[in-house]
Structure 1
Amino acid sequence: MKKIFKVFLILGTCLLFIGGGIFLIAFAKVDFDIHALSATKTKEERYEETSIVTSLSLEYTVADINVVATDSEKLSVSYSCPYNRKGDIYEVSITEENGRLSIVEKTKQHVSLSFFNFYDHDVTVYVPKDRVLDIQIQTNTGDIKLGNGTFGKIDLETNTGDIVFGAITATEISVSVDTGDVDFNGNVIANTLTIETDTGDIDSNGVITAQTIKAETDTGDVELILSGKQTDYTIIAKTNTGDQNIHSGGNGEKKLSVSCSTGDIEIDFR
């Protein structure tokens, strides 16, 4: 009995290594992209505005969303729709009325028994360069990238994912993230800027100009570059566990509130 058990153990181990080797070879052939192994098919769709859109709302469960400027005179949205295991397409609901365009994922992410059944919703919004757009984006899982442009009110929310800004001018910016980083890669001009994260860093490479700034994270660092001098601001700054290079005080016209439970606070003025 022991000999038979050893034989089966050896055979099982050999099959395991052989299967692992085949998987690695297949994985290498697709440049180690796990999504390339998926059996899920997608259909690419595109929507173009029928009248001038001044307000855009996107709501997805799983999606990477990219907003970019375009030379085109019309706003358009390209998006991918996956098929489920039954061959039914996962459609979205599109409504355009009174200058407002709303795109909502109709069907939530499906449950599949297949291990290699991954898919991405890739959504790209093309905004005419001279268009001032109010934009609201909500996802459960996915990154949101907002390219260079001029906007009205910006409201971005994701449960799991990063939010990245280019050079942005807006009246109001509101960002909410459960798990993920918020990065400002370009200069930002706004009346009010509010950033809230549970777990993630808040960082700016460009200069932020705003009358009211609020940046809060439970776990993560806050590193911001602000326009003007420190004396221009009335400051509330607090970290429970971490270092900070500024402290509460001042009586400037601009308002700055920065806090984190676990993390460092570093604010530079230029």
Structure 2
Amino acid sequence: MCIVTELCHNYAKRYPHKFVSIGHPSSVILVMFYITPIIFNGLLYKISWVVATFITYNILGNMLFCYSTNTSVECLPKDRQLPVPGEENLWHYCEICQKLMPPRSWHCALCRCCILKRDHHCIFAATCIGHNNHRYFFWFTFYLTIGTALSLATSLIYAVMSGSFLPWLIIKDSIEIKGIFSSYCQYLIFILNNLACGVPAIMLAFQIQIIYLNASYYEINNRSYNLGFRKNCKLIMGQRGLWTFLSPSLKSPLPHDGTQWQMKPKD
């Protein structure tokens, strides 16, 4: 099983997008159809399906909205792609695009354009995270972490209930082929869940601090734009704030277009 662990690690490093698209659904399918029916029954089993459906919908929905939402400077109306009189000093010149860009916007070599309040380029969503789609990325990482954590917890509960928490004890005590195969499946689920849960959990920890300070990934400790938690949430989540956790399709207009940023008053 050490070989399986190393293969999973190496594949995740070399092909992160493919690993997510294969590993996460595989973990969900194996847990919901193989482990969950053993742990829960009746009403609890039905509730677990409702929760799993809600989380999966938000993971896939937020990922799709994140990918399809244009957050480049080019998405602005033509008149907003130029600084208003008196604000020219706040804008900066992009050598690649060869024109002035709004504050907090930066050029992405992969997207080949400047991104409004660029946070980073996400390899999972295959797009840049910026002013217009930051909300979707946050809830994507949030539900991805919650979903894989619940899957991991379910696998651990099953392992404890079956008295086979240690993989080598399973293999040692298993005589039938079916028992060995079941043990391998359980261990593989545990490996996939650990890998699938660790990456989004790290991303979520960064995103919580970014929202708390109204910062960005490359300026995570920048407090210049920190206007307080409630205002910061609205600047990223829109007018409905944290209520956007309900659905990616919930309309929540942003307070501005990403070209003018209020700074924290100096003490």
TM range (shorter): under 0.3
Query: Relative contact order (C-alpha < 8 Å, sep 6+): which is higher?
Result: 2
Q: Which has the higher strand share?
A: 1
TM value normalised by structure 1: 0.21
